[in-house]
Structure 1
Amino acid sequence: MIYIYTKFNSLEQKKQERIINEAMKEFARSGYDRASTNKIIKEADIAKGSLFVYFNNKKELYLFLLDYISEAVSKIYDEVDWTETDILKRFWDIGLVKLKFYKKYPQAFDFLKAASHENAAEVKSEIDKMSKANFEILFKRFYEDMDLTKFRDDIDIEAAISVMNWTITGFTQQQVDRLSSSDEISMDVLEEWQKYLAFLNQCFYKKEENNEKTNKGQD
């Protein structure tokens, strides 16, 4: 449940997103205790002191971010077909939704990952309360109920999945760096993503699986 922050919510959308992204960036980079609200104010290009007009203190800002982004990620992941057991087809869906989300909140996953390891006493108990409901869904749901029979017998499946994960993360970040938040995801991006998935298919799947299409739209 996201608490109501009337003054913050009254800001134009782009300004809200700028504050959210710069705050997540600073918390992810420095940790809660060392994070500087002055840096957030400077990078977000807002008036000095205005941050605490929207949020009473650093703790309130941090918990707002945690709640806001966790709920936003959960909603966007509803677009993924979790009944799909082929990991490459699932990665196709995940790649698209992550690209869409990264375009709007490029710091979100770094922030959530940092939060999952945050030990600051001031926020630790609140993080622990949310962890079961949010972090497990965000990071473990990827790999549930996967069909591992498609992998070659001589493959270290755990290592292969790690390579797949690094590929999807790297590709998504590369595209985010190229696109502005207003750009649509072009056919060129989709075709390039499909090529990466086809390559992973050839590297890790059994030969009889290599001819299967990884793009669900072509099934």
Structure 2
Amino acid sequence: MNEKFFALPEEKQRRIVNAAMEVFAKNEYKRASTDDIAARAGISKGLLFHYFGSKKELYFYLYRYVEQMVAEQVTDKKFAEITDFFEMMAHGAEKKLKLVAESPYLMEFTVRLCSSRDEGLAPELDARLQQTLDSAANYFKNIDFSRFRPGVDPMELLRMLTWMTLGYLEELRRRGLPVEVDQVMRDYQRWSEMFRSMAYKEEYL
């Protein structure tokens, strides 16, 4: 990526990022138009490609941008004090949902990204998604895994809860319903308690 993008005023960077996220959120990757992105950002298409060498480069920049934004939101003071796996998952879910509520196209972009089957993105996208899941282990360095029953894989639970949440949000998107953080968290807590009862030793229930 051209370093000149980072030399732009922050307001202009945000305008370009928001425009790209909106277009990629509303369209499958191959149908997302760089002409539309440039027009929404208020710049020429040539300048867009001056900052980002290709459409694919812009797409993966957005991936990293969202990943960093979520990480910064989740890893607050409370995060460092949590030792319970399910409490950590709920904390992360609440923080991410607040981001979704504040950023109208973040959820749609993320859902499309995670469900993309575009041949122009695979296998690079699949590899990056797997890296994201694998790196999530770093978030659990303070977690007490001795609470789990023998044979239970916490990372498998992480994947299941993540995909359930994404599917839930995708259903809201398809039905044109708003993301109401309190309601989603009530549903999430219900799922979490179900998994807790199956995964934790009796003395931790």
TM-score by length of 2: 0.62
Gaps of 5+ in 2: none
Change over 3 Å in CA distance of 1:139–1:110 after alignment to 2: farther
Is the 2:21–2:62 contact (alpha carbons within 8 Å) kept by the matching residues of 1? yes
| Secondary structure of 1:82 counterpart | helix
TM-score by length of 1: 0.59
Q: Mapping of 1:180-195 within 5 angstroms?
A: 183-186=179-182, 188-195=183-190
Aligned equivalents of 2:69, 2:187: Cα separation in 1 = 27
Q: Identity of counterpart residues, as a percentage?
A: 14
Residue equivalent to 2:34: 41
| Secondary structure of 2:124 counterpart | coil
Residue equivalent to 1:151: 148
Q: Mapping of 1:1-219 within 5 angstroms?
A: 3-6=6-9, 9-10=11-12, 16-23=17-24, 39-41=32-34, 44=37, 46=39, 50-56=44-50, 57-58=53-54, 61=58, 64-65=61-62, 68-79=65-76, 81-102=79-100, 104=103, 105-106=106-107, 107-108=109-110, 118=124, 139-153=136-150, 156-158=151-153, 160-175=154-169, 177-178=171-172, 183-186=179-182, 188-210=183-205
Q: CA deviation at 1:199?
A: 0.7
Q: Deviations over 1:19-45 (max 9, x none)?
A: 13545898xx77xxxxx5x73336759
Is the 2:74–2:95 contact (alpha carbons within 8 Å) kept by the matching residues of 1? yes
Q: CA deviation at 1:89?
A: 0.7
Aligned equivalents of 1:182, 1:199: Cα separation in 2 = 25
| Secondary structure of 1:5 counterpart | coil
Q: Deviations over 1:160-193 (max 9, x none)?
A: 541343123322441354267975413x322211
Gaps of 5+ in 1: 31-35, 120-126, 128-133, 211-219
RMSD across aligned positions (CA): 4.4
Is the 1:152–1:206 contact (alpha carbons within 8 Å) kept by the matching residues of 2? yes
Is the 1:150–1:209 contact (alpha carbons within 8 Å) kept by the matching residues of 2? yes
Aligned equivalents of 1:63, 1:197: Cα separation in 2 = 31
Aligned equivalents of 1:199, 1:71: Cα separation in 2 = 30
* Stretches of 4+ aligned residues off by more than 4 angstroms: 23-26, 42-45, 108-112, 134-138, 179-184
